Structure 1
Amino acid sequence: MPSFAQILIALGAAGGALAAPFANTTAAAVTTEQRSAAQTFTGDITYYQPGLGACGETSSDSETVVALSPAQYDGNCGKTITITKDGKTATAKVVDKCPSCASGAIDVSSTVFQSLADMSVGRTQVSWSFN
């Protein structure tokens, strides 16, 4: 029969082994979050007519707003992004989800689009990141 001291040592070792995965998971989540904040995305930009967005906010075309692809949308309502095209930049607030957008692609109000490219282009490539 094991002694009381042996049981305590075994429990201590088991507790350390159980705690380690949780500590590593938390550290990994923070690292992933930090990487997302600094990540630059590249994709198509198009424009749409804003209204009641997936974030529950009603926006107009005169506002600087953006709809993100499903890959980048979750948890980002209300955040702003900076969009860059040929040395021009624009900032837009996340208010909607663009279900048909590929990862990295964004759909913006015409106010944002025309600050970066001529409206007649309709679709072009940009890079962007969360602020």
Structure 2
Amino acid sequence: MSKLTFLIIGSILLLLCVRASYAENRVSATHTSAALHEGEGTYYFYNGGGHCSVPVPAMFTAAMNQTDYNGSQACGGCVKVTNRNNGKSVVARVDDSCPGCNPGDVDLTDAAFAQISPLEAGRIPISWDYVPCDYPSVLLYFMEGSSQWWTAVQVREQRYPVSSLAYRESGSTGSYQEIAREDYNYFVERSGMGTGPFDFRITDIYGHVLEAGNITLQSGVPINTQQQFPSMGTSGVINQADK
């Protein structure tokens, strides 16, 4: 084998190794960003009125950094936050955003922070990921003042964060219409949705789809869909006929 041939073969093998390593690193990075996040944990005093525009729950709550808040997509999601110094964990629901936080950071309420660290620490290294919220069924809520001419709808008490909401007139065989999401955690149809009733298609961040039919426009009243997203490991469409 000539020296030139040896060099060419060596270069090809080196290139293949680099590409394989690059692909492996990309897969690892994708998994980390989709499942386990790392950042810093802090705390603040919270009495309601968070960016997610939801009632204060009985459970612990947290404010999410702007990147992972993702235009209010994180709202209502439950996160398991672990103190990387001691391994202690706490579960909190995202009810607010934290504009001053860096990507990966979570600002816990003081009561939640105290479950994993003395408050005196102030700032701790954390890891976190989404876990299922323990709610029996998803609620829909039309903002007070909603009408056939201007309609704002919120999804509450979902098992996992919601990625999209769409609607159509009940009984229609037409396509669902996606509703634009606002950063205060409402899906808003500025020209109105009509008088209803409506069928809604709710999709979570893992691709689970829930369909709730014959929903009437009731402003300011939580509406129980009698349905909930499946736990991880299952997929498909859930509708009232399946209940």
Structure 2 length normalisation: TM-score? Answer: 0.37
**Which residue of 74, 77, 80 corresponds with 2:78?**
80
Structure 2 residue 64 is matched with structure 1 residue 68: yes
Q: Is the 1:63–1:109 Cα contact (8 Å) retained in structure 2?
A: no
Relative contact order: is structure 1 or structure 2 higher (C-alpha 8 Å, sep ≥ 6)?
1
Task: State the Cα deviation string for residues 49-71 of structure 1 (Å, max 9, x = none).
Answer: 112001002438x8410100011
The amino acid that maps onto 1:81 is V
Moved over 4 A (4+): 34-38
Alignment pair present for 1:43 and 2:49: no
User: Which structure carries more helix by proportion?
Assistant: 1
Alignment correspondent of 2:130 = 130
Equivalent residues of 1:84, 1:126 under 8 A apart: yes
Find the counterpart in structure 2 of residue 118 from structure 1: 118
CA distance in 1, matches of 2:61, 2:32: 20
Task: Kindly provide the amino acid, as one letter, of the partner of residue 35 in structure 2.
Answer: Q
Q: Deviations over 1:27-57 (max 9, x none)?
A: xxxxxxx958951111111111112001002
CA change 1:101–1:118 in 2 (3 A) is same
Q: 1:68 is matched by which residue type in structure 2? A: M
Describe the superposition over 1:73-106 as per-residue Cα deviations: whole angstroms up to 9, x where unpaired. 1211111000111221100000000001000001
**What's the Cα RMSD here?**
2.1
Match of 1:90 in 2: 90
Question: Sequence identity of aligned pairs in percent?
Answer: 29
Q: Distance in 2 between matches of 1:105 and 1:37?
A: 13
Equivalent residue number for residue 160 of structure 2: none
- Please tell me whether the aligned partners of residues 45 and 107 of structure 1 are also in contact (alpha carbons under 8 angstroms): yes
Structure 1 alignment gaps of length 5 or more: 1-33
Shift of the 37–81 alpha-carbon distance from structure 1 to 2, 3 Å rule, reads farther
**TM-score, normalised to structure 1's length?**
0.67
Instruction: Give the Cα separation in 2 of the matches to 1:103 and 1:109.
Output: 18
The alignment status of 1:59 with 2:46, answered yes or no, reads no
Of Structure 1 and Structure 2, the greater strand share is in: 2
Partners of 2:110 and 2:120 lie apart in 1 by 11
